[in-house]
Amino acid sequence: MPQPIIFLLGVVLGVIIMVAMMRRRVGECASECGREIARVNKEKDDALKLCAAEFGFDAFNRKMKEEKEKRKAAIMGMIVAQGAITTRKAADALKVSRVSAFRYLEELEQEKRIEQVGSFGREVSYRAVKP
Summarize pLDDT for 48-69 with one digit per residue, the tens.
Answer: 777 777 777 777 788 888 999 9
pLDDT tens per residue, range 108-122? 999 999 998 887 777
| Domain 57-128 bears CATH identifier 1.10.274.50 | no
103 by Cβ neighbours in 10 Å (0-12 / 13-18 / 19+) ranks as: middle
The ranges assigned to domains in the chain are 1-55, 57-128
Tell me what pLDDT residue 107 has: 93
The half-sphere exposure of 108 on its side-chain side, counting CA atoms within 13 A, is 29
Average pLDDT, the chain: 84
Cβ(105)–Cβ(90) below 8 Å:
yes
